Chain A
Amino acid sequence: MRANARVVAALSLRSIKQAFRRPQFLMPILVFPSLFLAVNVGGAGRATDIPAFPDVAGFLDFELAGAIVQSTMLAAVSGGVALALDIESGFMDRLIAAPIPRTAIVVGRLAATAAMGVLAGVWFVAIGLIFGAEIQGGVPGALLVIAMATTCAAAWGGFGAALALRSGTASVVQGTFPIIFVIIFLSSAFFPGNLLLEPARSVSDWNPMSFIAEGIRDPIVSDISAQPVLEGIVAIAGVMALGAALSVWGLRKRLAT
């Protein structure tokens, strides 16, 4: 058990170092969502004047959750791309031949994706505070936001890993970037669900991304309330379970070839 943890930690550390050494992995996680955050807040900041808009201190406060979930999903795809590159370069074969549990290979990668989630959470909470947002839930609220960003990244990371294991090609995983935007656009991540246009409004009612975003948003825009946070945690757990099942299936298929 302890040896397994050491393997996972070593592989995770390798993945994190890889992300920091290659800006093309880090840039989509932090820079793109930050720029979109700036555009959304600057361009649509007056949206809080719309009568049906929820009562929030500012549009930046509202948008932070959207930027965080976007960042964590991009982290998941970047993790998948990195795993696919390991497969393409033959590094994965060497890991499979090594005397380590096979699941540690995937868990190590997901741990690194979770670490990117921590980074995303801290980054956007800091950006928010610097640019005048208020975390209404205080320090516990900020910690809750970061914890949910971490688990959210790991949850979606399962899908990235599964795709990488199944396809074995970085370009296929890279090609899922537009799907991220589709999932986010069809949720209440960037705008209140009641103000979305159809069909996004109906889809957002069932989209797990809406529950995750609302769960992350709650400690920012109000005191921590049980319902949205619990719904967010359940949605993350659901996504994580499905992602984990798909990665296990992908790993089995890869080992069988």
Chain B
Amino acid sequence: MRGTWLLMRRALNEVIRVPGAAIPGIAAPTLFLLGLTAVFGNLTLLPGFSTTDFMAFILPVSVMQSATFSGAATGVNLARDIEQGWFDRLYVSPISRRALLAGHVLSASLRALMPITAVIVVALFFGVDLQGVDGLLLAIVLAAAFAAAIACYAVVLALRFRTQQAAPLMLAGSFMMVLFTTSYAPLDLLTGWFQEVARYNPVRFILEGVRQMSVYGVDWGHTWKALVALAGLTLFFGAFAMRGLLRAADA
């Protein structure tokens, strides 16, 4: 427990000591929020679109993107630690592998809070109406937890490739998990094979859970699906990350 906390503190220190490193994680989702709204804002004219405010619809996508940035950054930082040999020192220290993984992954959730908040503040500035405090808090919790799931995915890649050059793979992969969902339009308005991918993509349920903040309002139907998808995703990637850690220790 103490080992996990110390690793989380170390990750947070990186944010405090190098605040500039947080800028891409805030700037990119904000750019997408404003840009996609400007470009695809009139999709709300389509019959069956669930809101008339496209920024309210796309805001959860940007919130999730903020979370993916923090999660992917955890993998990139781990790859850097591996390259520099610092991770080897952790291996020989008396700290359990589970605590090692938990420290890295939970730090992603904590670090995600800053960009998530920033994107929501930008959306409020541009006039998005939120559906209530409960929806807002639920969205923040879901997105922060999603950052942990993505961190597990990024850790798997970091342990596999052991180089920061895998960063584009970590970022692109997690971005696509978010975008291949109901990111631009409700499920019924998606087309072709993309609709089928979105239908079965578990991240869609998390996105819809976050979307309760700005479109649907909180209801149990969206919430439980989001929680189950989140748990499943975290367990899936967490198991692979744990296996990677154990294998790396044996190597």
Segment of B146-154, B190-198, B234-242 engaged in the interface with chain A: B190-198
Is A125 positioned at the interface, with any CB of B under 8 Å from its CB? no
**Min CB–CB distance B79 → chain A (angstroms):** 14
Q: For residues 185 through 222 of chain A, which have their beta carbon under 8 Å from a beta carbon of chain B?
A: 185-186, 190-191, 195-197, 199-200
Neighbouring A residues of B185 by C-beta, 8 Å: 43-44, 46
Name which residue of chain A comes closest to B184, CB basis.
Answer: A43
Say which one of B34-42, B207-215, B225-233 lies at the interface with A: B34-42
By secondary structure, the B interface counts as helix
Complex Cα spacing A59 to B225, Å: 32
Residue-wise interface mask of A (34-49) relative to B, using a CB-CB cutoff of 8 A (1 in contact, 0 not): 0100111111111101
Contact yes or no, A44 B38, CB < 8 A: no
How long is the Cα–Cα vector from A103 to B193 in the complex, in angstroms?
A: 48
Interface: B183 (CB within 8 A): yes
B46 within 8 A of A: yes
- Interface of A, secondary structure class, is helix
User: Closest A-chain residue to B49, C-beta based?
Assistant: A46
Query: What band does the interface of chain A fall in when counting residues whose beta carbon is under 8 Å from B?
Result: 20 to 34
Is B82's beta carbon under 8 Å from chain A? no
Query: Knowing A181-B35, A195-B42 touch, does A46 contact B191 (C-beta < 8 A)?
Result: yes
B35 touches A185 (CB 8 A): yes
Asked if residues A43 and B168 are in contact (CB atoms below 8 Å), the reply is no
Name the one of A44, A45, A182 contacting B35, with C-beta atoms under 8 angstroms: A182
Q: Which residue of B lies closest to A35 (CB)?
A: B176
Known: A27-B168, A47-B46, A200-B38. A41 touches B28 (CB 8 A): no
A44 touches B40 (CB 8 A): yes
Kindly provide the distance from the CB of A63 to the nearest chain B CB, expressed in whole angstroms: 11
The chain B residue sitting closest to A194, CB to CB, is B42
Partner of B172, one of A31, A45, A196, A199: A31
The reply to whether A39 and B165 form a contact with Cβ atoms under 8 Å apart is: no
With A43-B185, A46-B185, A50-B46: A32-B172 Cβ-Cβ less than 8 Å: yes
B-contacting residues of A (Cβ < 8 Å)?
A: 24, 27-28, 31-32, 35, 38-47, 49-51, 59, 178, 181-182, 185-186, 190-191, 195-197, 199-200
B194 with A47: CB separation less than 8 A: no
Residues of B in contact (CB 8 Å), total 35
Q: How far does the alpha carbon of A39 sit from the alpha carbon of B180 in the complex, in Å?
A: 6
* Shortest Cβ-Cβ A-B pairs, 9 listed: A42-B194, A43-B184, A185-B35, A45-B191, A200-B38, A197-B41, A39-B179, A195-B42, A191-B39
Chain B positions within 8 Å of A51 at CB level? 45
CB of B110 closer than 8 Å to a CB of A: no
A-B contact pairs, 16 of them (CB 8 A): A28-B168, A35-B179, A38-B194, A39-B179, A41-B192, A42-B197, A43-B194, A44-B40, A47-B40, A47-B43, A50-B42, A50-B46, A181-B32, A190-B40, A196-B39, A197-B39
Contact among A28, A31, A45, A181 for B190, CB-based, below 8 A: A45
Contact partner, B194, options A41, A49, A185, Cβ 8 Å: A41
Name the CB-closest residue of A to B192. A42
Chain A residues, Cβ within 8 Å of B36: 185
Residues A178 and B27 in contact, CB atoms below 8 Å apart: yes
Besides A59-B191, A190-B40, A195-B42, 5 more A-B contacts (Cβ < 8 Å) are: A39-B194, A45-B194, A50-B46, A178-B28, A196-B39
